[in-house]
Structure 1
Amino acid sequence: MTVWHEETGSGEPVVLLHSSVADSGMWDPQWKPLGERFRVIRLDFRGHGRTPCVADGPYTDAGDVADLLAALGLRQVRLVGSSYGGRVALELATGHPGLVSRLVLLNAGCGLPPTPDLEAFGTEEDRLIEAGDVGGAVDLNVRTWLGPEADEPVRARVAAMQRHAFEVQLAAEPEPERRRDPIDLTVVTAPTLVVTGGHDLPYFRESGRHLAEELPDATLLELDWAGHLPSLERPAEVTRLLSEFLP
């Protein structure tokens, strides 16, 4: 299966991987500015945005991204991953280290054991979904993952993306089996910018520090104003960071 994708611009390829609370639309603020300097590709993981929640068997999101890049004839790319998209980027860089020339991780997970804050979020989200309260689960995600810099239009946009993902995934029959590829930070040699948010959950701040310590070539940037989705909270500032680091 080929996941939905689109591209703009020309030059060195940059691939944008979205958070699980969103879809490729989260990159709208960066889309045109980055397209003026790079060939930019964004995609929707299965069950998000315009990619259906279907599979013929077990699959991984990193495998889907690798297949898409192969179909596009891309042998080396710059990867930008937000949250879950950052985890997928690390999985892809582990399995295909020569494919990734530069890496930006925005509040990315990397497989550390969950801390109490993340467990509490997951328990409450599961409770709401099991009770059929999709709206409550959407509100929980918006409150949790957006920091104080996010305005009301951004909150409404994230709510719409999360609601759509919930509805598509809950309607899937049968539910596809999504697996995760391994992460080995010792083989991810690409220069990496690790970004954390001062208003994010402690789990992701801890993950960022761990990544910066363990990756062979990483720089840690802590944004004291940011929540979990800084590219939506202060889009112009994150666009500038990407434009400075990716070339």
Structure 2
Amino acid sequence: MPYLECNGAELYYETNGSGPPIVLLHGVMGSCRFFEPQLSGLSDQFQVTGLDYRGHGRSEKTEMGHTVAGYARDLEAFLDQRGLEDVVLVGWSLGAFVSWEYVDQFGTERLRALVDVDMEATRFQWDDYEYGIIDLEGLAEIMALVQTDRSSLIERISKQVYKEPPDADRWVLQVDELSRVPAPIKSAILFDATMSDYREILPEIDVPTLVCAGTDEKRGTVASVKAVADRIPDATFERFEDSGHCPHLEEPVRFNRVLRAFVHGL
């Protein structure tokens, strides 16, 4: 299994195919396994790479570095060591935050395009933001579950992110991958991600961007994701009618087709 040391952490990654590089950035407590339909389905035309953040999946479970900013620094080290240029970053959920944080810290010199998979500019209910989905009380409740009831946490997340209840294979994936992340790391990155706010960064993005929204609104709203597209200059917005928070898993054939067309059109 391939690993690469980035800023003192051994990061696990998978790479399939050859061609223009696509790098897949997973959601909080997830791993690159959540991108299996893309790692296999796009490798005929692209070099597709899935990266596990430190503390996640098969990467090293370090004590430090579990912030969105830290994950973006790890991403830069990874891209640099792999010699990747003109990269299309595909960020699902937390992965979108990591991609935007990357732009804020390092610019877009290495990037060809960005893809936001169903993520709003911020999750927190700020006074001047109409789309927030969590307040301090809700955050405290999730933190308590992280420390006391892993099974209930996984069940709660699974109910929120899919339009339809997950089948047996997807449920096993959820339990396996979310269980790999130690509770202290869960707490650190959940808090940091919840309090992150990229509203001021989005207008500075100067590469083509595709924004994808699942229409099921158990977790968030289409309007909150559309607001991201509205803030990014010349962004393309795509709705996935049969998806919740995971269109790349819930509608993988269509998602791959949309992503191919977007990259080919650059």
Which TM bucket (shorter chain)? 0.7 to 0.9
Unaligned runs of 5+ in 1: none
Report the CA distance between 1:31 and its aligned residue.
0.9
Q: Deviations over 1:16-65 (max 9, x none)?
A: 00011421100111112211101111110111111122156676111110
The count of corresponding residues between Structure 1 and Structure 2 is 242
5+ residue gaps, structure 2, are: 126-130
Aligned to 1:103, which of 91, 114, 121? 114
- Of stretches 136-145 and 53-62 in structure 1, the one that deviates more from structure 2 is 53-62
In structure 1, the residue matched to 2:48 is 40
Structure with bigger RCO (C-alpha 8 Å, 6+ apart)? 1
1:126 aligns with 2:143: yes
Q: Is the 8 A contact 2:214 2:244 kept in 1?
A: yes
Q: 52, 61, 75: which is aligned to 2:60?
A: 52
- Report SS of the residue matched to 1:14: strand
- 1:187-226 equivalences under 5 Å are 187-201=204-218, 203=220, 205-226=222-243
Identity of aligned residues (%): 26
2:94 corresponds in structure 1 to: 84
Report the CA distance between 1:167 and its aligned residue: 5.3
Is the CA contact 1:48–1:168 (under 8 Å) kept in the aligned structure 2?
Answer: no
Q: Residue 127 and residue 220 in structure 1: after superposition, are their counterparts in 2 closer, same or farther (change >3 A)?
A: same
User: What RMSD, in angstroms, separates the aligned Cα atoms of the two structures?
Assistant: 2.7
Aligned to 2:178: 162
- Deviation of 1:150 after TM superposition, in Å, equals 4.1
| Equivalent of 2:104 in 94, 109, 117 | 94
Compute the displacement of 1:113 (Å).
Answer: 3.4
- The answer as to whether partners of 1:101 and 1:190 remain within 8 angstroms in 2 is yes
- Note if contact 1:8-1:40 (Cα within 8 Å) is conserved in structure 2: yes
Q: Report SS of the residue matched to 2:163.
A: coil
Taking the aligned partners of 1:143 and 1:215, their CA distance within structure 2 comes to: 30
Scaled by the length of structure 2, what TM-score is found?
0.80
Matched residue of 2:181: which SS?
helix
Q: Match for residue 66 of structure 1?
A: 76
